[in-house]
Amino acid sequence: MQTHTVGRQADNPFSSLAFDSVTMNEYMFDTNIFNKILDGQIDPSKLSSKDCYVTHVQFDEIQATKDKDRRLKLEEVFSQVVSTQLPTESFVLDVSRLDEAKLSDGVRYEQLLQRLNELNKSKLNNVQDALIDETALTNGITLVTEDQDLAQVITEFGGFVCNLQDVIGA
């Protein structure tokens, strides 16, 4: 089991001024991470020793990629990297898959969504990002993302976040 120090400052979630030390061997990948891997920023084999989690949301976002060749390559990266798929912790109509989402009171999800909307003026994929955030938070899994707003929200709610380079170094 590896221990890695992670910054949890809301004003800069990727800050090198870390003050929490957590055991990090389980990672929830945001969809943008699969794009980074495909674009050659990291060799997927470097992730083989990591427990990489996703929900159906990341796969659905990959499926929405309009460029067919890129979509097929993203699907290949997805299958190489992902070790476990978890159900989302909430169900959102027209986004969630019935058999891959839990029913909840929706309180935490709504709080995460509201905060994301405040930070980035209601980006179109905030619903999906809030589902990913909530699942990582609830399961105690470190979110891996390059999205500053998403990183800020998860840290504000007490979760852990890192970028792709942190995973490689862990």
CA distance 57 to 34: 13
Average pLDDT over residues 20-26: 57
Percent of the chain residues topping a pLDDT of 90: 74
Say if residue 160's pLDDT is above 60: yes
Say if residue 77's pLDDT is above 90: yes
Quick one: which H or E segment has residue 164? helix 164-169
CA distance 69 to 83: 23
- Domains annotated for the chain, with CATH where assigned, are 3-169 (3.40.50.1010)
Say if residue 20's pLDDT is above 50: no
Average pLDDT over residues 51-79: 96
At 4, the amino acid letter reads: H
CA distance 104 to 151: 23
Say if residue 16's pLDDT is above 60: no
> What pLDDT score was predicted for residue 23?
47
Task: Look at residue 167 and give its three-state secondary structure.
Answer: helix
> What pLDDT score was predicted for residue 36?
93
Average pLDDT over residues 67-95: 95
68-81 vs 31-38: helix crossing angle, rounded to 10: 100
Task: Look at residue 70 and give its three-state secondary structure.
Answer: helix
Give residue-wise pLDDT tens across range 132-158.
999 999 999 999 999 999 999 999 999
> What pLDDT score was predicted for residue 24?
59
Quick one: which H or E segment has residue 69? helix 68-81
Quick one: which H or E segment has residue 142? strand 142-144
Say if residue 159's pLDDT is above 90: yes
